[in-house]
Chain A
Amino acid sequence: MKNTIKIERAINNLTQEQLANLVHVSRQTINAIELKKFVPSTVLALKIAKVFNKPVEEIFQLEEEEKSYEL
């Protein structure tokens, strides 16, 4: 799953630490999400989207290979 947290942080002029405090997680968690080492829960994704005032889909998108799962 890709995400645009780093870009959104730059637009809103937030550090990792400040964003982490806004959504009540540790700085390591934000770093891990940005590095694609960790996929956040739906609750955390919604909270992050709320901070940036955007729909979740604009911040978190599926990778190309993840879209092609057969149902």
Chain B
Amino acid sequence: MAKVKYLFYIINLITAFILNSFFVKDYYNLHKVYFIILYVNYILHICINIEIMKSILIPYKLKIIGWFLFLPSLITGIILIIGDFESPIDSKINFFAICYNETFGKTKYFGITTIDLIPNLTAVLFLIGGLIIIFSKEKIEDEFINSIRLNALQWAVFTNYLCLLLAIVFVYGIPFFNIMVYNMFTVILIYIPRFYYLLWKISKTV
């Protein structure tokens, strides 16, 4: 029964994602209504079936993989930010896309488009590594570790949306979109130092 729930949850997520990328630009109102219904359905699923989310943490052994993905992509990311997102070597390749557009052209669906490999790969590895670090257990997982995990997550989400709020009110135009790019990664960038700071602070024996 639990497996069916998982399957339904994943199908729901994929449908919502595809519909989102389909109808975000084209103004077919009926499809938008359909998307909103599916989205509400998806949210309700997360809320009602919260007991299946309890075991979201993955084993401690995978944490080392997370660090190996996270740290190199963090360094590459910083180099890319300094160089204004221009990759130091030419890495343009053709890749499959669900939704894309040519420069200032019409939105197209399901085709091949040219992408810059290095920035995209960096972001993907950063997110995968960060998610593994956040959602893997500690060596000994207990209620105190859970409480500092919650604290770190609360601060990360709060700071993320506070930055977004300030950016919406005070920043306009192209700089706003630059802030949005950093904003995609702030939850991970605040959670990890905060969690390990709290753990380190309590590790010191008096």
Q: Which residues of A contact B (CB under 8 A)?
A: 16, 20, 24-29, 31-33, 35, 37-38, 40-41, 44
- Report how far A32 CA is from B145 CA in the complex, Å: 10
- Report how far A32 CA is from B144 CA in the complex, Å: 8
Q: What are the 4 tightest A-B residue pairs by CB atom distance, in nearest-first order?
A: A29-B144, A26-B140, A25-B142, A28-B202
Residue of A nearest to B142 (CB): A25
B203 touches A31 (CB 8 A): yes
Which chain B residues border A16 with CB–CB below 8 Å?
Answer: 205
Selected from A20, A37, A41, A44, the residue in CB contact (under 8 A) with B202 is A37
Whether B48 sits at the interface, judged by CB under 8 Å, is no
- Report how far A28 CA is from B143 CA in the complex, Å: 11
Which chain B residues border A27 with CB–CB below 8 Å?
Answer: 203
Which chain A residues border B106 with CB–CB below 8 Å?
Answer: none
Which chain A residues border B202 with CB–CB below 8 Å?
Answer: 28, 31-32, 35, 37
- A to B CB contacts below 8 Å, 12 in the list: A20-B140, A25-B143, A26-B140, A27-B203, A28-B144, A28-B202, A28-B203, A29-B142, A29-B143, A37-B202, A38-B144, A41-B143
A-B contact count (CB 8 A): 40
What is the number of residues of chain B that contact chain A, defined by CB distance less than 8 Å?
Answer: 13
A25 touches B203 (CB 8 A): no
Which chain A residues border B138 with CB–CB below 8 Å?
Answer: 26
Residue of A nearest to B141 (CB): A26
Q: Which residues of B contact A (CB under 8 A)?
A: 138-140, 142-145, 147, 199, 202-203, 205-206
B203 touches A29 (CB 8 A): no
Residue of B nearest to A21 (CB): B140
B139 touches A26 (CB 8 A): yes
Which chain A residues border B144 with CB–CB below 8 Å?
Answer: 25-26, 28-29, 32-33, 38, 40
Q: How far is the CB of A29 from chain B (nearest CB, A)?
A: 4
- Report how far A4 CA is from B199 CA in the complex, Å: 23
- Report how far A19 CA is from B109 CA in the complex, Å: 60
B142 touches A26 (CB 8 A): yes
Which chain B residues border A44 with CB–CB below 8 Å?
Answer: 142-143
Q: How far is the CB of B37 from chain A (nearest CB, A)?
A: 41
A29 touches B145 (CB 8 A): yes
Which chain B residues border A37 with CB–CB below 8 Å?
Answer: 202
With A16-B205, A31-B202 given, is the CB distance from A38 to B139 under 8 Å? no
With A29-B145, A38-B147 given, is the CB distance from A24 to B206 under 8 Å? no
Residue of A nearest to B144 (CB): A29
Q: How far is the CB of A31 from chain B (nearest CB, A)?
A: 6
